[in-house]
Amino acid sequence: MPVIGDPSLTRPADDGAGGAHCEPDGSLNRLVRLTRRLFSVDVAILVCSDADDAWQAVDGTPPPESQPWAIECPVRAANGRLLGGLRLLHGQARGFTDEDNQALKDLADLAAMAIEQRHVRSGERGGEDTWREEARKLSLAIAGSGTGVWDRNVVTGEITYSPGWKALLGYSDSELTTRIEDAYTRLHPDDLDYVRAAMQDHFDGKTESYEVEHRIRCKDGSYKWICSRGKVISRDHSGKALRMMGTTTDISAVRAMSDRLKRTADLVVNLTDAVPGLVFQCRAVPEGGSWFSYVSAGIWDTFELTADDVRASTTAIEQRIHPEDLPAYRSSLQKAAAALTPWHLEFRVCLPLQGVQWRQGDASPRRDADNGVVWHGFVTDITDRKRAEFELREHAATDALTTLPNRRHFMSRIAAELTRIKGHGGLGSAVLMCDLDHFKHINDTWGHAIGDGVLQHFANMLRTQLRDTDLVGRIGGEEFAVVLPDTDIESAHRFARNVQRRIADTPYLSDGRHIPLTVSIGISALHTKDDDAELALSRSDRALYYAKQRGRNRIESVFFR
pLDDT in tens, 494-524: 999 999 999 999 999 888 888 899 999 999 9
Say if residue 163 is in the same domain as residue 302: no
Region of 164 on the Ramachandran plot (φ > 0 left; ψ -120 to 50 alpha; else beta): alpha
| Coil vs helix vs strand at 56 | strand
Give the per-residue pLDDT at 91: 86
Contact 454, 517 (CB under 8 A): yes
- Strand order of the β-sheet with 241-250 is 158-161, 147-153, 241-250, 223-235, 210-217
Residues 87 and 179 in one domain: no
113 and 171 in a single domain? The answer is no
Whether residue 404 sits in one domain with residue 547: yes
Tell me, yes or no, whether 487 and 549 share the same domain: yes
| pLDDT on residue 3 | 52
Most confident of 112-126, 256-270, 302-316: 302-316
Does residue 392 lie within any of the structural domains? no
Q: What is the pLDDT, as a whole number, of residue 369?
A: 76
Q: Is residue 267 part of a domain?
A: no
Phi-psi label, residue 221: left if phi above 0, alpha if psi -120 to 50, beta otherwise: left
Cα gap 479→472, rounded to integer Å: 11
Residues 6+ apart with CB under 8 A from 290: 282, 283, 284, 313, 314, 375
CA 30 distance to own-chain centroid:
36
The answer to whether position 43 is within a domain reads yes
Q: Average pLDDT in the 8-23 region? A: 42
Residue 138 lies in a domain: no
Report whether pLDDT(107) > 60: yes
250 and 173 in a common domain: yes
- CATH number at 476 reads 3.30.70.270
Judged on CB neighbours under 10 Å (0-12, 13-18, 19+), 44 is buried
Q: Of 323, 354, 385, which residue sits at a domain end? A: 385
Do 401 and 545 belong together in one domain? yes
pLDDT of res. 121: 76
| Pair 449, 495 in one domain | yes
Q: Write the DSSP assignment of 416-473 as a string of letters.
A: HHHHHHHHH-SS-EEEEEEEETTHHHHHHHH-HHHHHHHHHHHHHHHHHT--TT-EEE
Query: Is the same domain home to 238 and 323?
Result: no
Q: Is residue 133 a part of any domain in this protein? A: no
Element spanning 359, H or E: strand 355-367
Q: Does residue 260 form part of some domain?
A: no
Planar angle of CA 128, 132, 135, nearest 5 degrees: 135
Asked whether the predicted pLDDT for residue 140 surpasses 60, the reply is yes
What are the DSSP calls for 216-277, one per residue?
A: EE-TTS-EEEEEEEEEEEEE-TT--EEEEEEEEEE-HHHHHHHHHHHH-HHHHHHHHHTSSS
Same domain as 184, residue 333: no
Q: How far apart are CA 527 and CA 428, in angstroms?
A: 7
pLDDT tens per residue, range 76-93:
988 888 888 999 998 888
Give the residue numbers marked as catalytic.
478
Residue 97 lies in a domain: yes
CATH number at residue 58: 3.30.450.40
Q: What is the pLDDT of residue 313?
A: 84
Residue 13 pLDDT greater than 50, yes or no: no
Give the amino acid at 388: A
Model confidence pLDDT, tens digit, residues 232-254? 999 999 999 999 999 999 888 88
Which neighbouring-strand residues pair with 46?
57, 86
pLDDT band at 12 (very low <50, low <70, confident <90, very high): very low
Q: Residue 463 is part of which domain span?
A: 397-557
pLDDT reported for residue 142: 63
Check if the beta carbon of residue 389 is closer than 8 Å to that of residue 414: no
Among 187, 221, 255, residue at a domain's last position = 255
Within this chain, do residues 422 and 378 fall inside the same structural domain, yes or no?
Answer: no
Residue at 265 is within a domain: no
User: Given 227, 255, 283, which residue is the final one in a domain?
Assistant: 255
Whether residue 396 has pLDDT greater than 90: no
Helix, strand or coil, per DSSP, at residue 399 = coil
- Distance CA(392)–CA(210), nearest Å, equals 21
Residues 407 and 540 in one domain: yes
Is this model's pTM higher than 0.75 or not?
A: no
CATH code, domain carrying 198: 3.30.450.20
Number of domains in the chain: 4
